[in-house]
Amino acid sequence: MISTLHIRNIGIIKDLTIDFNNGFNVITGETGAGKTLIIKAIDMICGGRFPKDMIKKDEEFASVEACIHISNEDRAFSDEYIIVSRQVYLNGKNLCKIDGRLVSVSELKNFMLNIVDINGQFDNQSLMDSKTHIEFLDDFSKEQIRDTLSEYRKIYDEYRDIEEKLSKNYGNDIERQRKLDLLNYQLNEIKEADLKVEEEAILEEKKEVMKNYEKISESLNITTFKLENNILVELENIIKPLEKIENFNTCYGSRTASIKNMYYELQEYLSDFNNYKENLEYDEQEFDLTEKRLDLIFSLKRKYGSSIEDILKYKEELETQIIEIENLEEYNNNLRKSQELLKEKMTVLAIKLNDIRKKSALVLEESINKHLKDLEMNMATFKVDIVFNEDGKFNLNGLNKVEFLVTTNIGEDFKPLVKIASGGEIARIMLAIKTVLSDVDKVSTIIFDEIDTGISGSAVKAVAEKIKCISKNHQVIAITHQAILTATADYNYKVMKNVKEGKTTTNISLLDEKEIVEEIAKIATGTITATALKQALELRSARVS
């Protein structure tokens, strides 16, 4: 659940901290005070899209930080409280952290998916789109469908990959021949070069030696002369007198042996330097050939890879592509055979998915219809229509088309939601669906953003009772303009807009019981009178525990 929410520089919010509680939290306040900005802040911390124009005027960034309480059974961290934060800058930069660890926006989103579920007008719109209905159904039956759907989608990806290869098919005959000519030209160019993996480094060294021939020759001549005529002669003169006393003391003997080793080692160096001199040569023609070879390697690297290893790897790819094109019919036939095998596997899994969805749909229908009656929709019946497409046109979800249908009056035909439901009915159907899904979902916090819009009377009371019921197992944060929902809350917060020195800011406060009654009265009648307060007290005392 969200324990604390800290918001900075969003819209008219300068700096706002809210301490939420477990249970049913209701936020009220006048239009434009900043209630929607609080929901936007929660959406932002959940990895949602955050437009830069929502950053407060004259500020460089907007930020949201949330302290999340993770229950022990779901906890994957060492602490019970996790700090999650996100900053969005005017230049588009995002800085996201989970417990101090930098993460991407997508990682933040995936993490928060298991913690917060936001429901509002957008969700009502998604419910009206039949394409989303299969996702609602699969969410409900996820324990039963998860492994089968995962296996199906893995095979489906392979199937689509083959489908893409077949569709490309290297173009028509003329395009294929052009492609083949280009590939053969590139392959021959690499083959003729006869590249060796280590040769570039060897050639570079050879070039440097020839390029500095005179400097190297002069240095070697000086070195060999000094060694042969000075250093070795002097060492020999040192060794001879020491040999006369080396047996008198172990120290003399060890030092004499060390100097002798120097002498022998320098003799070896002299031999090596003489060999270097003998092998040192400068051939202008050889130098030109070396440079040309290096130029060729550079040219091939520019075309086919950043190293000789990359070029040789590209050569193998060229050979594979040429074989594919030259044996295109056989290659395509093999692809089609593989595709048919995958199709058979997908069909088996699609049938299994269909069976799972049909069974889950019956349970979903029964559950939602029960909740609809609780929500004062006694004449309404909800139905999940599942069609199995036997045409073999596979999609990401199998061969099913799922659509939610409803009839709001006895004797009427079932129709799609978009054709029959009013705004208030949609709100209640959405609440019924979310209530059912919340029973199987481990998400800890559910947000309702003015989900009671468009309903009144006894329906509002039913909605309040249903949300109150949800709050027994989940933290609920709701924004409302309804007195009954306000009266039903466990904790009431009021958002207020203040203007100071020509600047507008938003504040929020947790109301005490007296303030709650006054807020209920104001929402119900628009004024705080004795009669309004009496009605508010009655609503408050009659609330569901």
User: How far apart are the C-alpha atoms of 263 and 237, rounded to whole Å?
Assistant: 11
Same domain, 193 and 305: yes
DSSP state letter for 41? H
Neighbour count for residue 121 (Cβ, 10 Å):
15
The CA radius of gyration of the chain, in Å to the nearest whole number, is 40
Strands 81-89 and 61-69: antiparallel
Same domain, 59 and 181: no
Provide φ and ψ at 403, rounded to 5°: -140, 135
The encoded tokens of residue 317 equal 């790819």
Strands laid side by side in the 415-416 sheet: 381-388, 400-407, 415-416
The mean predicted confidence, pLDDT, of the chain is 87
Contact yes or no for 140/133 (Cβ under 8 A): no
The pLDDT value given to residue 439: 66
The predicted model scores a pTM of: 0.59
Looking at 271, 301, 326, the residue that finishes a domain is 326
Residue 253 placed within a domain:
yes
Residue 438 placed within a domain:
no
User: How far apart are the C-alpha atoms of 486 and 516, rounded to whole Å?
Assistant: 8
pLDDT, tens digit (0-9, with 9 covering 90-100), for 237-268: 888 888 888 888 888 888 889 989 999 999 99
pLDDT above 70 (res 376)? yes
Higher pLDDT, 504 or 490: 490
- Residue 532: name the closest of 486, 500, 495, 497 by CA: 486
Residue 256 placed within a domain:
yes
Provide φ and ψ at 421, rounded to 5°: -95, 135
Looking at 326, 357, 384, the residue that finishes a domain is 326
- Bridge partners of 45, per DSSP, are none
Q: What is the three-class DSSP state of 305? A: coil
Q: What is the three-class DSSP state of 393? A: coil
The encoded tokens of residue 520 equal 């209920």
How many domains does the chain fold into?
2
Residue owning tokens 């809350």 = 489
User: How far apart are the C-alpha atoms of 149 and 350, rounded to whole Å?
Assistant: 9
The encoded tokens of residue 347 equal 């069909």
Higher pLDDT, 57 or 155: 155
Neighbour count for residue 197 (Cβ, 10 Å):
11
H helices then E strands: how many in the chain? 19, 15
Contact yes or no for 2/449 (Cβ under 8 A): no
pLDDT, tens digit (0-9, with 9 covering 90-100), for 51-81: 888 999 889 999 999 999 887 554 444 448 8
User: How far apart are the C-alpha atoms of 398 and 396, rounded to whole Å?
Assistant: 6
Q: What is the three-class DSSP state of 58? A: coil
- Bridge partners of 103, per DSSP, are 96
| For range 294-304, the mean pLDDT | 91
Residue owning tokens 């047996």 = 247
Q: Give every CB contact of residue 44 below 8 A, 6+ residues apart in sequence.
A: 10, 50, 62, 64, 86, 88
Residue 392 placed within a domain:
no
Give the chain's end-to-end CA distance (angstroms, integer). 21
Same domain, 310 and 196: yes
DSSP string over 322-381: HHHHHTHHHHHHHHHHHHHHHHHHHHHHHHHHHHHHHHHHHHHHHHHHHHHHHTT-TT-E
- Bridge partners of 385, per DSSP, are 403
Q: Give every CB contact of residue 220 below 8 A, 6+ residues apart in sequence.
A: 273, 276, 277, 280
The pLDDT value given to residue 422: 65
Residue type, 362: L
For the chain, the residue count is: 545
The encoded tokens of residue 544 equal 């569901």
pLDDT category, 347, cuts 50, 70, 90?
Answer: very high
| For range 399-407, the mean pLDDT | 93
Residue type, 346: M
| Domain CATH for 33 | 3.40.50.300
User: How far apart are the C-alpha atoms of 449 and 520, rounded to whole Å?
Assistant: 18
Reduced DSSP (H G I as helix, E B as strand, rest coil) percent helix, strand, coil of the chain, to 5: 60, 20, 25
pLDDT, tens digit (0-9, with 9 covering 90-100), for 442-494: 678 888 888 777 677 777 888 888 888 888 888 999 998 889 899 999 999 99
The pLDDT value given to residue 344: 94
pLDDT, tens digit (0-9, with 9 covering 90-100), for 184-221: 999 999 999 999 988 888 888 888 888 888 888 888 88
pLDDT category, 122, cuts 50, 70, 90?
Answer: low
- Residue 44: name the closest of 34, 54, 30 by CA: 54
Residue 123 placed within a domain:
no
Residue 406 placed within a domain:
no
Neighbour count for residue 309 (Cβ, 10 Å):
11
The pLDDT value given to residue 75: 46
Looking at 326, 342, 365, the residue that finishes a domain is 326
Neighbour count for residue 520 (Cβ, 10 Å):
29
- Residue 511: name the closest of 494, 497, 490 by CA: 494
Same domain, 190 and 306: yes
Same domain, 187 and 320: yes
Residue 76 placed within a domain:
yes
User: How far apart are the C-alpha atoms of 279 and 268, rounded to whole Å?
Assistant: 17
Question: What domain range includes position 52?
Answer: 1-115+443-545
| For range 165-182, the mean pLDDT | 80
Residue 203 placed within a domain:
yes
